[in-house]
Structure 1
């Protein structure tokens, strides 16, 4: 019997310093290199990756620019504390109680960080194709956009574009250019459209130019893009949201219960 040949591995065409940074980034993200621990010495990294001193330093510079590590030339480079954040979408679905801030803000405070949001735009727009598809809109269909950027400890953390059906949002606070007390889930509940079910589609993508600038990214590491379709008690979605996070700073945690 003829044994089929294994498929040849594809060639990694990235520069060596990018490949070194990628491997070290994975060590940091997986916890192999814990917060506060020192990276291997330059001599050890040179031996591990068969690289020159200059190449290793370029790799470390990438990680410093991403704020994953701190250190200076000639001194130990250490993994920065509290960089990776775990996002638990289920914890954000329940609307806040009357008078409470948006759940995202209270969750951030619970983990010891300062969070705030900046409203970027409120307008009737033609949404992206996947948002139009979720709403069942035609190619020239429009929806209300509420766009904001979320900051943690004054660092850009996430771009959030929330879209709402015009039939639901007209004449409500959703149309106003101001933050909504308790967040949109609380307002939707007040309007008789409480969020009941959320469906997420998560993908990793290379950041667009706008995302790169807005999130203050320093390399082309992927971003995490979540398309969230929120359903109420009716047939169609009450909200469709596009969220974009820096991929090297976040992980998503989903919990499922088998019935």
Structure 2
């Protein structure tokens, strides 16, 4: 750590230490998975007490840069985010092609990843306010809900709850645990409600306790509230998905023509 300006730097020593270690992480000097120096080594390097060294590492842990393994030490957190390619991820050839797949499944396969999911709930439920507003129905109206947790390479990355008008879901595989090749997009298409337009809404925040547990989030990891509305060829909203995504598992790329 540079000492040339230490006498005029008003930041507490643990903050300066944490900032210096963060710089090493961001530049790759301390690569993903690398072990941080021990508290004793940090104390000697930065001429500080063990208590200050612990506080510096705690700051990095709170920022989601470092994880501590009991009895082993602290390590630079490994990040392996999957890229979500905006508009392209919804292309019809993914869910209506020769080998139809779900949106997430196709995206994961194309990036050498494996996507799986478990069903947390299936059934009729009163429409939450966010869902009712987007489906154009009264809050509390019965809708069909599919609640699931998705995984990337075995790690939970998303709590995804989809809601459909009962008239659309009734009598289709959307009411079953396995929706079949192509997932919900293909089933909506077969039911005469071809996905034609998508509206996405994104909001970042810190997770609740249950969300942290369900997504196995390390300290300092935000989540993204993702609301997706599928609109069919007639302009009717046919599905609303409320999703909570682990912020460290996904990066977003959008490429599109500039409108006139």
Name the residue aligned to 1:109. 109
Name the residue aligned to 1:162. 162
- 1:178 Cα deviation (Å)? 2.5
The answer on 1:176 being equivalent to 2:173 is no
- 1:135 Cα deviation (Å)? 0.7
Residues 83, 126 of structure 1: CA spacing in aligned structure 2 closer, same or farther, 3 A cutoff? same
> How many residue pairs get matched?
237
Q: Supply the distance in 2 between the matched residues of 1:20 and 1:148 (Cα, whole angstroms).
A: 42
Q: Supply the distance in 1 between the matched residues of 2:224 and 2:60 (Cα, whole angstroms).
A: 23
Residues 100, 177 of structure 1: CA spacing in aligned structure 2 closer, same or farther, 3 A cutoff? same
- Please give the root-mean-square deviation of Cα atoms over the aligned residues, in Å: 3.7
Unaligned 5+ segments in structure 1 are: 1-15
- 1:110 Cα deviation (Å)? 1.9
Maintained 8 Å contact 1:119/1:148: yes
Residues 227, 58 of structure 1: CA spacing in aligned structure 2 closer, same or farther, 3 A cutoff? same
Maintained 8 Å contact 2:128/2:139: no
Name the residue aligned to 1:94. 91
Name the residue aligned to 1:149. 149
- 1:40 Cα deviation (Å)? 7.8
Residues 151, 76 of structure 1: CA spacing in aligned structure 2 closer, same or farther, 3 A cutoff? closer
Name the residue aligned to 1:207. 207
| Structure whose alpha-carbon radius of gyration is higher | 2
TM-score, length-scaled by structure 1: 0.75
The superposition leaves residues 113-168 of structure 1 with CA deviations (integer Å, 9 ceiling, x where unpaired) of 22211122111112321111001111221211111111111110111111111111
Q: Which structure has more helix as a fraction of its residues?
A: 2
TM-score, length-scaled by structure 2: 0.74
The superposition leaves residues 30-67 of structure 1 with CA deviations (integer Å, 9 ceiling, x where unpaired) of x64485485886469958xxx8112123335557xx68
Maintained 8 Å contact 1:94/1:185: no
Residues 84, 238 of structure 1: CA spacing in aligned structure 2 closer, same or farther, 3 A cutoff? same
Name the residue aligned to 1:9. none
The answer on 1:230 being equivalent to 2:230 is yes
Unaligned 5+ segments in structure 2 are: 1-12
- 1:230 Cα deviation (Å)? 1.2
